[in-house]
C-alpha cells in the first residue's frame, strides 16, 4: 500500500509541477511580449504573425529618452557620418533627434516622469507603512474604545472602487491647489494604502507575543524604546510584505495619476501611453518605457522575496 500511495503521490507532484509551469508560462507571456517588443525594430513590432526571431536592437530605448522628428528629406551623408552610433540608430529609422539652440540633444520627459513615479511611490509607501504600523500597534496592544468599529471604518475606506471618488477628488484637489503636485499624489496614495497597511500590520503585530515588549519594559526600557528595539525588528517580515504591496499599488496607479497630474508631477503610467499618437504609433518606444517601468517593482519584490513568502502565509502557522 505504501508503495502505491507513494507512486500516486509522485504522480500528483508531477501534475502539480506541470500545472505550475503552465501557469507560469501564461503569466510570463505578456512580459515576454512587451520585453521582446522593446528590442524590435518598428516594422516587426506590429507584424502579423508576430516575429519571434529577430535581431535585437536598443533603438527603442534611444528613442524613449529623446525627442525626435520625422525626416522629411534624406539625411546628409556628412551629418550621418558625424553622428554618434546611437543617433545613427534613430536616423536609420527615418527620424532625426530634436536639438536645442546650442545643438544639444533634447531629452524626452520620460526620465522626469520616472523620477516622479519613484519619489511619489517611495514616499507614499514609507508614509503608509509607518502610519499603518503605528496604528496597528495601537490597536493590537491597547484597549481602544470601539476598536472593532474603528477597524471596520478603516477597512470600509477600501470598499468603494477608488475611481468612484475621482471627480470629487479632482474638484477638491483643484480647490486646494494640490493638482499636479507631488505632495498631492503622495497624500492620495498614502490614504489609499494606509487602511490596507493597518489591517495587514495588525495581523503581523498580533502574532508577536506581547511578552517580548513586557520583558523590555521590565528590563528598563520605555514603551517607545521597546517598540523600536523589539517590535519593529520582529515585525520586519510584515513591514516588508506591506511595503511591497503598498509600493506596487502606488507605482502602478494609473487613473488618479491621469486625472490629478499632467506635467510637473505626472508619473510614468499616464505618461507612457500618452506617447501613442505623437507622430506615428511607435509601439517599440512604449514597450521600452514599460520594460524600464517594470524594473523597480521587480527588483524591490525580488529583494524582499523571502519576507513576502513568509508574509503570504502569515496567520496560517501558529507559533
Which residue in 219, 254, 295, 303 binds other proteins (CB under 8 A)? 219
Helix (H) or strand (E) holding 25: helix 2-38
311 three-state secondary structure: helix
- Binding residues among 173-212 for other proteins as defined by CB under 8 A: 209, 211-212
Residue 146 binding other proteins, by CB under 8 A: no
Nearer to other proteins, 22 or 215 (CB): 215
CB neighbours of residue 131 within 10 Å: 17
Residue 147 binding other proteins, by CB under 8 A: no
- Binding residues among 234-253 for other proteins as defined by CB under 8 A: 234, 236
Nearer to other proteins, 209 or 315 (CB): 209
Which candidate, 183, 195, 194, places its Cα nearest to that of 260? 183
Which candidate, 131, 146, 142, 154, places its Cα nearest to that of 206? 142
CB neighbours of residue 201 within 10 Å: 26
- In the bound complex, what is the minimum distance in angstroms from residue 234's beta carbon to other proteins? 6
Residue 218 binding other proteins, by CB under 8 A: yes
Residue 230 binding other proteins, by CB under 8 A: yes
Residue 217 binding other proteins, by CB under 8 A: yes
Q: Say how many residues make up the chain.
A: 319
CB neighbours of residue 7 within 10 Å: 10
Cα–Cα distance for residue pair 238/307, rounded to 1 Å:
7
Which residue in 222, 278, 281, 306 binds other proteins (CB under 8 A)? 222
Which residue in 215, 276, 280, 312 binds other proteins (CB under 8 A)? 215
Binding residues vs other proteins (CB under 8 A) = 209, 211-212, 214-222, 225, 230, 233-234, 236
Amino acid at each position: 500500500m505504501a508503495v502505491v500511495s507513494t507512486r500516486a503521490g509522485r504522480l500528483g507532484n508531477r501534475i502539480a509541477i506541470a500545472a505550475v509551469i503552465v501557469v507560469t508560462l501564461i503569466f510570463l507571456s505578456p512580459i515576454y511580449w512587451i520585453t521582446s517588443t522593446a528590442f524590435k525594430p518598428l516594422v516587426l513590432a506590429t507584424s502579423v504573425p508576430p516575429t519571434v526571431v529577430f535581431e535585437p536592437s536598443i533603438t527603442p530605448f534611444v528613442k524613449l529618452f529623446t525627442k525626435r522628428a520625422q525626416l522629411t528629406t534624406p539625411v546628409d551623408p556628412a551629418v550621418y557620418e558625424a553622428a554618434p552610433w546611437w543617433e545613427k540608430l534613430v536616423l536609420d529609422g527615418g527620424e532625426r533627434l530634436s536639438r536645442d539652440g546650442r545643438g544639444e540633444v533634447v531629452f524626452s520627459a520620460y526620465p522626469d516622469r520616472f523620477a516622479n513615479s519613484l519619489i511619489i511611490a517611495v514616499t507614499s509607501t514609507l508614509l503608509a507603512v509607518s502610519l499603518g504600523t503605528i496604528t496597528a500597534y495601537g490597536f493590537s496592544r491597547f484597549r481602544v474604545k470601539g476598536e472593532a468599529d474603528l477597524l471596520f471604518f478603516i477597512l470600509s475606506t477600501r470598499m468603494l472602487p477608488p475611481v468612484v471618488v475621482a471627480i470629487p477628488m479632482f474638484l477638491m484637489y483643484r480647490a486646494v491647489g494640490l493638482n499636479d503636485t507631488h505632495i498631492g499624489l503622495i497624500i492620495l496614495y498614502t490614504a489609499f494604502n494606509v487602511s490596507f497597511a493597518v489591517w495587514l500590520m495588525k495581523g503581523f503585530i498580533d502574532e508577536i507575543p506581547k511578552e517580548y515588549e513586557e520583558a523590555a519594559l521590565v528590563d528598563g526600557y520605555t514603551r517607545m524604546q521597546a517598540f523600536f528595539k523589539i517590535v519593529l525588528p520582529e515585525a520586519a517580515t510584515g513591514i516588508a510584505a506591506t511595503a511591497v504591496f503598498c509600493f506596487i499599488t502606488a507605482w502602478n496607479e494609473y487613473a488618479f495619476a491621469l486625472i490629478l497630474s499632467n506635467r510637473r508631477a505626472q508619473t510614468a503610467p499616464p505618461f507612457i501611453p500618452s506617447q501613442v499618437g505623437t507622430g506615428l504609433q511607435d509601439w517599440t518606444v512604449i514597450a521600452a518605457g514599460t520594460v524600464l517601468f517594470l524594473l523597480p517593482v521587480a527588483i524591490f519584490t525580488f529583494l524582499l522575496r523571502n519576507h513576502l513568502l513568509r508574509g503570504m502565509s502569515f496567520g496560517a502557522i501558529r507559533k
